[in-house]
Structure 1
Amino acid sequence: MRSLRRWTWWSVTGAGAMVAVVTTLDLSTGRYGPLGTPLLAVAVVLVSVQHARYLWQAMGGLGRGGLRTAEHLATFAVALAALAFAGHHTPVPMAWYLLPAAVIAHVVANRPPGSRLVVVVGGTAVAVLAGGVLRSPDLVGSLVMPVVLVAMFVVADLAQLWFWDAVLKLDRGRQTSEALAVAEERLRFAADLHDVQGHHLQAIALKGELTARLIGRDDDAARRHAEEVAELARTALKETRDVVLGYRRASLGTEITNAVGLLRAAGIETSVSGDAADVPPPLQPLFGALVREGTTNVLRHSRARRCDVDIRVVDGRVSVRLRNDGVRPDDEAGDGSGLAGLRERFATVGGRVEVDAGAADFALEGSVRS
């Protein structure tokens, strides 16, 4: 995203720089006199600054720049005045059509879709009139070429910005998918916990109220209910621990299934090679934790489009490897506390965790000899 943003920015500002260069070269001919030359130079600077300013604003998304009509009209008026002045000193002031073209481009980039065509057509027509089409005998040079020039300039700018806007929307959609996938997993765990705890807590509350009422009236019955309350509490605690233990120690196959679902929900193409059932049962929770940590790293620390999970059991040595693309060099996952904890857990059974952080991809692999 960062590289694409830089490319888009320099592409659109390069067009603005071209406007300044072409008009400056025309000014260097000296045909506009000692007064006209500095005035035209001021117009070039003003339009170039406004062009860069509003294109930077459009980098946040097409059509989100706000309706600053008065400012746009004032900038366009300066561009038209410069064009008209140049038209009185040269038959076809082709270079100066770039000024209104630049204004039209950055205005359209910050306007909502419904008004863009009106701005382009109306702005081009006014620019052609200001350029002197009515007094020029050269119809092609004064009408056709300016229209083509303005249209090409506007389309070139908007094409780059449209592509960047589409990428922004896709990235926002991906972030939303990631958040929904995490929220779905949290809801699943919350539902499991509620199912376990709901009945026991309600029974404990009812028996607790009953015990309070029986104290002083039927102490033996109150004592029995109090013992039942304690037993219900112990049962609830045990079942809660079982839920959490099952969540933390799910089989490798379950963890891979969950990981594939999360990654695909986030728009990441995921493939699995090998069979999780080949991993010995005592090692399943350990490699399940590896897959869970690797999945978290992919979602948090990369812009991945693909992730491959490879399970191998060869000559008694078990290894699971996750490899993803979309590495972000400014936010690497290799130094996190989660991986440090994984290394400690693998070390206790004589295994190891390796990280391979390349320029284009990231790999996390755990291996143990069974």
Structure 2
Amino acid sequence: MLREVSDANSEFGTGLRRLHKYTWWSLVLLSYLALIPWLQLAADTERRVPLVVVTIGAGLLTIVQRTRFVNDGLRHGRRGPTVEHGVTFVLTVAAWGYATVVQPNPTAWAFLPGLTAGGVVLNTPKGRRRPTAFVMAVVAAGAGLVAIPLRDVEPGGGFPWFMAVLAAGFVLCFAALDLTQIWFWDMVVQIDKSRELAEELAVARERLRFAADLHDIQGHHLQAIMLKGELTERLIGRDDDAARAQAAELTELARTAMTDTRRVVHGYRGTDLRRELANAVELLGAAGIDTEVRGDARHVPPPLQELFGALIREGTTNILRHSDATRCVVVLRVDSTTAHIRLVNDGITPRQATPGSGIAGLRERFATLGGDVRGRVIEDGGDATFELGGHAPVRR
């Protein structure tokens, strides 16, 4: 089985992995808005013990739980809201209400229920997201309405009646922001799945085409061979010269059938570079050679698939016959103008260090497409490796 170093345990390609990381970080980093009340606490000269405990506890709770909710949401585990989601949201709303009572300016505390609500909505099935966000907004606003009459501090600059709806606004804002990010991520995942499905369908169509071509060729030739054979049987003993002529035609028909069959099989198998890589890894592994494949064969343009497959076959044979290798690395790289392939192995011997006729033949094939092949020994301190590399231009 291919072991791609850059993505050994992930089902996603490089672009999807990067997008996944970006989405995760963009959602998780928002949780650090919960640390803003800590800045207010640092500026507070009194630093009352209950306020210190609530500030630190609510901030850590919001950060930890939102991170967990984001992880669950990106893994598509959206079966909530659960009891855990509800308890976390109630605790952050309670912290917000407490700050409204004891803090002159509790605005920053309104982030806490908003951040938690965003994480809860991420784990809510699509049909229940809007009602869930609305209920949480109402709860946050209700906490503000209950807390405002209990305030025991002077507002300083006008009584903040807008506190009653501030948390509700943050709840709806963060819910919308988080859902937008998740919606975009879901769309990209669906596109990637569609691409994989399209590839599978293309493979299935190619197999059907191959089966149909093979059936047509074999059916035609076998029918002709059968008729010629029956005719030859009837002619034996009656017209031996005619029987010999029919037998000669029989031989020619069989030879033509074999040639046509080989042509169909070659056209079917020669275009799948991934199969050649898989065969190489399997063969080298059976010989005790640890093999790694770096890069994605799907990125190699179709016109170069067969050419690169030939290099893989030649390189694998070269390693098995002419080296004492214990490790091999296959590198595929495609940029805007050129596709590159390299096989690097250790355990080189004088026989492998001298390129043979197989590499010369590869060089001729690559040259027809404007490319080149090179085999060389690479000295790295006391270690030496052999590199068989090829490149060819990418034609758009």
Q: TM-score, normalised by structure 2?
A: 0.56
Q: Deviations over 1:235-256 (max 9, x none)?
A: 6434313433566899xxxxxx
Of 21, 34, 40, the match for 1:26: 40
Structure 1: how far apart are the matches of 2:70 and 2:116? 10
Show the counterpart of 2:329. Answer: none
Of 358, 361, 364, the match for 2:392: 364
1:48-127 mapped onto 2 (5 Å cutoff):
48-61=63-76, 64-67=77-80, 69-90=82-103, 93-127=106-140
Structure 2: how far apart are the matches of 1:154 and 1:343? 63
Structure 1: how far apart are the matches of 2:74 and 2:175? 16
Q: Secondary structure at the match of 1:132?
A: helix
Change (3 A) 1:144 1:182: same
Show the counterpart of 1:46. Answer: 61
Of 206, 211, 214, the match for 1:190: 211
Of 147, 151, 156, the match for 2:172: 151
Show the counterpart of 1:275. Answer: none
Q: Deviations over 1:87-141 (max 9, x none)?
A: 2213663222222111211111111111001111100110111223574495742
1:35 aligns with 2:50: yes
Paired amino acid for 2:39: L
Q: Deviations over 1:53-83 (max 9, x none)?
A: 111222235xx43335111112112212212
Structure 2: how far apart are the matches of 1:220 and 1:75? 98
Structure 1: how far apart are the matches of 2:305 and 2:32? 50
Q: Deviations over 1:268-308 (max 9, x none)?
A: 9x9xxxxxxxxxxxxxxxxx96475589xxxxxxxxxxxxx
Unmatched 5+ residue regions in structure 2? 1-14, 150-157, 272-298, 310-333, 345-357, 374-390
Structure 2: how far apart are the matches of 1:80 and 1:366? 59
Aligned residues: 279
Change (3 A) 1:139 1:241: same
Contact 1:294 1:364 survives alignment (8 Å): no
Give the alignment's Cα RMSD to 1 decimal: 4.6
Change (3 A) 1:31 1:76: farther
1:353 aligns with 2:364: no
Structure 2: how far apart are the matches of 1:115 and 1:158? 12
Contact 1:87 1:131 survives alignment (8 Å): yes
Contact 1:204 1:229 survives alignment (8 Å): yes
Show the counterpart of 2:321. Answer: none
Structure 2: how far apart are the matches of 1:33 and 1:233? 98
Structure 1: how far apart are the matches of 2:215 and 2:144? 75
Show the counterpart of 1:237. Answer: 258
Q: Secondary structure at the match of 1:66?
A: coil
Q: Secondary structure at the match of 1:334?
A: strand
Paired amino acid for 2:133: V
Q: Deviations over 1:312-361 (max 9, x none)?
A: xxxxxxxxxxx86599xxxx852269xxx898434269655159xxxxxx
1:181 aligns with 2:202: yes
1:199-218 mapped onto 2 (5 Å cutoff):
none
Structure 1: how far apart are the matches of 2:66 and 2:55? 16
Show the counterpart of 1:334. Answer: 341
Change (3 A) 1:67 1:336: farther
Show the counterpart of 1:164. Answer: 185
Structure 1: how far apart are the matches of 2:71 and 2:220? 58
Q: Deviations over 1:30-51 (max 9, x none)?
A: 6662134224422321221110
Paired amino acid for 1:143: A
Larger relative contact order, structure 1 or 2 (CA cutoff 8 Å, min sep 6): 2
Change (3 A) 1:143 1:31: farther
Change (3 A) 1:206 1:73: farther
Structure 1: how far apart are the matches of 2:219 and 2:237? 28
1:11 aligns with 2:33: no
Structure 2: how far apart are the matches of 1:182 and 1:155? 41
Q: Secondary structure at the match of 2:341?
A: coil
